[in-house]
Structures are given as structure tokens and as C-alpha cells.
């Protein structure tokens, strides 16, 4: 697969990334079985064999099970660790931690970030995380304190490069101003069902600062494909029916699948959006990789945008 550099870092990634959110087979660790883990590991291997070289996970995905399945896959597939970028995220604390009545919340304090990163390293079974991202903005985020945590993690050889996820552009600016090291990736939800990043300054900032935008749920968690198994609460209100006919029309005209066109729309943006796909089906993973070669015309691109907006441009 073609590759792109990640921001100004020395890392490069395949043009599509593989997201490991779903690889444990459940959100709930109590429901994870040997079979669901084996299926997740098969999906990771299928992605590696299809040329994916960036694997994204997070400490909270199935309470660490996703990181464990990825870590086991890295060990099982000979040469994989050396050839891929391992990306994970921290900064969200689940309910019940550290006391039973603690709410689920965000925590970018230095002790939490450093401890969370060390626990991720253990679950992944690796010495260094290539890309560590702050998962969702902490309302109490203190850029100076985060910068100190980043410096300590880098100096200790625990993290190579840093990024953020779901940030407002101004918070990226505030954090970058405090940090010695460049932020190289901003992971954010972008799809035909979620267009905000195109107009809220996120992608403009990525262009200015040379940050790679990584799109999560690029197929709207399956709503742009054969349907969704598990949606996040905010995704429940998506209404893809209004634009799926336009997507299908472009797909038919180009002899491509609906999902290939939906991914190509993101790949064709000048900010070099890096879609992180989350299918656990090896055939769908291989098919997604074909989107890299699909160049949409301006007319096709705008036809899809306008259909997804649900109203003409002003």
C-alpha cells in the first residue's frame, strides 16, 4: 500500500490505518472469549498482510483487551513489530477507578498519563509506543503539565511521538505552544455522516501545522457499509439514508463499492486524511485497501458532500 509520513515525524504509515477498537469482540471484558480474541487476531493479521502498517488502539478499548490482542498479534506475526507503527491513546479513566463511586472521566494529570502509558506498554508487550495520543480533551487540561508528562515519557524511551484526539483546534494550539515536541497526528471522527472537521478548523489547522488528520469511524461505524453492529451514542442520530443513494450512484459509475468510495472521499482531501478502518472481517479489510487507488473527480467529491449535507451549498 502507498505510505504517507505522519506529520513532521520520522514515522510513516500505510495510506489506511487499522483500528483495533473492535478486535476483542465486545466492549465488555467479561464477554470476551478465546474465540472472539482469535477472530480479532485474525483480523489484525489480515490487515498486516493487506499492507496496513499503522495499528491504532487505546487503553480503554474493552478495558485493555484490545491492547492485549494487538500485543499478542505483534508477537505471533514474525517481523510485524519492526514494520508497523503502534499507536495507542490514554487520558480517559473508567468509572470505579480508583474508588467504587468515581465517575468515568478525563484525566491528563502527569501521574495518570505516565502510569496509563506504562500500563499500555505492558499490555502491548513492547518497549516503546510509536505514537501516543490524548484520547478526549480533559476539561481540566493543563498544557504545561501535559508537556512535562510527554517529556518524561520521551526521555524514558517509552514514547516516540505524540498526538491528540477529538481536540478543538485552539486546544491543539495551546498544547503545542507548551510542548517541546511536535504533535504529529490529530485523530478525529470524519466521514460522510460526520463532516464537522471540514469546516470547524480542524483540517485547516492540520494543513497549517503539518499534522496528519486520522479519521476514526470513517465508515460511520458501518452505517456507510452493510450496517452497524455497535454505535457510539452520538452516532445513533446519523441518518445515512439521505445520502446513500448518491454514494451508490458514484460507486456504480466507478465500478467500486460504496465503502471504497466513502473512504476515497477522505483520502482525496488535500490534508491527507488517514482513515482508520475498524472492520474485523478479513475480506472487508482487503477491500478497503483498494480505496487508496480511487481518485474522485471534483464533481464526484462535491456531489457526495452536498448529498451528505442534505442541502445545496450557499
Distance CA 109, CA 140 (A): 9
Determine, following the binding rule CB under 6 A, whether residue 21 of this chain makes contact with ligand NAP: yes
Answer for which of 71, 91, 137, 225 binds ligand NAP (CB under 6 A) is 225
Q: Does 73 bind ligand NAP (CB under 6 A)?
A: no
Least Cβ distance, residue 22 to ligand NAP (angstroms): 5
Shortest distance, position 283 Cβ to ligand NAP, whole Å: 9
Residue 40 is a binding residue for ligand NAP (CB under 6 A) = no
Whole-angstrom CA distances from 302 to 35, 220, 225 are 43, 19, 20
Among 14, 36, 120, 259, binds ligand NAP (CB under 6 A): 259
Using CB under 6 A, pick the residue from 13, 165, 212, 271 that binds ligand NAP.
Answer: 165
Shortest distance, position 219 Cβ to ligand NAP, whole Å = 3
Rg (CA), the chain: 19
Q: Who contacts 190 (Cβ-Cβ below 8 Å, separation ≥6)? A: 197, 198, 213, 215, 216, 218, 266, 273, 275
Q: Minimum Å distance from CB 170 to ligand NAP? A: 19
Pick the piece of the chain touching ligand NAP (CB under 6 A) from 29-37, 138-146, 196-204, 278-286: 278-286
Buried b / exposed e over 76-101, threshold 16 CB at 10 Å, is: ebeebbeebbbbbbbbbbeeeeeeee
User: 126 vs 277, which CB is nearer to ligand NAP?
Assistant: 277
Is residue 249 within 8 Å of residue 41, measured between CB atoms?
no
Q: Which of 166, 173, 176, 290 binds ligand NAP (CB under 6 A)?
A: 166
3-class SS letters over 110-151? HHHHHHHHHHHHHHHCCCCEEEEEECCCCCCCCHHHHHHHHH
Binding residues vs ligand NAP (CB under 6 A): 19-22, 56, 135, 165-166, 187, 216-222, 225-227, 229, 259, 276-281, 284
Amino acid at each position: 500500500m502507498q505510505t504517507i509520513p505522519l506529520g513532521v515525524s520520522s514515522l510513516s504509515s500505510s495510506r489506511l490505518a487499522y483500528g483495533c477498537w473492535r478486535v476483542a469482540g465486545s466492549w465488555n471484558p467479561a464477554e470476551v472469549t478465546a474465540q472472539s480474541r482469535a477472530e480479532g487476531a485474525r483480523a489484525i493479521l489480515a490487515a498486516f498482510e493487506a499492507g496496513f502498517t499503522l495499528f491504532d488502539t487505546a487503553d480503554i478499548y474493552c478495558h485493555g483487551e484490545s491492547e492485549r490482542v494487538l500485543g499478542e498479534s505483534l508477537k505471533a506475526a514474525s517481523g510485524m513489530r519492526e514494520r508497523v507503527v503502534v499507536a495507542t491513546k490514554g487520558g480517559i479513566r473508567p468509572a470505579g477507578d480508583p474508588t467504587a463511586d468515581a465517575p468515568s472521566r478525563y484525566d491528563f494529570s502527569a501521574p495518570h498519563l505516565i502510569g496509563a502509558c506504562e500500563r499500555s506498554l505492558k499490555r502491548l508487550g513492547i518497549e516503546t509506543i510509536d505514537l501516543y495520543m490524548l484520547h478526549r480533551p480533559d476539561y481540566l487540561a493543563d498544557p504545561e503539565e501535559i508537556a512535562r508528562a510527554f517529556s518524561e515519557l520521551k526521555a524514558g524511551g517509552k514514547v516516540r511521538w505524540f498526538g491528540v484526539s477529538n481536540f478543538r483546534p485552539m486546544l491543539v494550539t495551546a498544547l503545542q505552544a507548551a510542548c517541546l515536541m511536535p504533535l504529529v497526528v490529530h485523530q478525529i471522527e470524519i466521514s460522510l455522516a460526520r463532516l464537522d472537521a471540514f469546516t470547524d478548523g480542524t483540517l485547516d489547522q492540520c494543513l497549517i501545522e503539518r499534522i496528519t488528520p486520522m479519521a476514526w469511524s470513517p465508515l460511520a461505524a458501518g452505517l456507510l457499509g452493510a450496517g452497524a453492529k455497535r454505535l457510539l451514542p452520538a452516532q445513533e442520530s446519523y441518518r445515512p439514508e439521505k445520502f446513500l443513494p448518491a454514494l451508490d450512484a458514484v460507486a456504480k459509475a466507478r465500478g467500486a463499492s460504496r465503502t471504497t468510495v466513502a473512504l476515497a472521499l477522505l483520502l482525496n482531501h488535500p490534508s491527507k486524511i488517514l482513515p482508520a478502518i475498524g472492520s474485523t472481517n478479513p475480506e472487508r479489510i482487503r477491500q478497503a485497501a483498494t480505496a487508496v487507488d480511487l481518485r474522485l473527480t471534483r464533481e464526484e467529491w462535491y456531489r457526495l458532500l452536498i448529498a451528505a449535507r442534505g442541502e445545496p451549498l450557499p
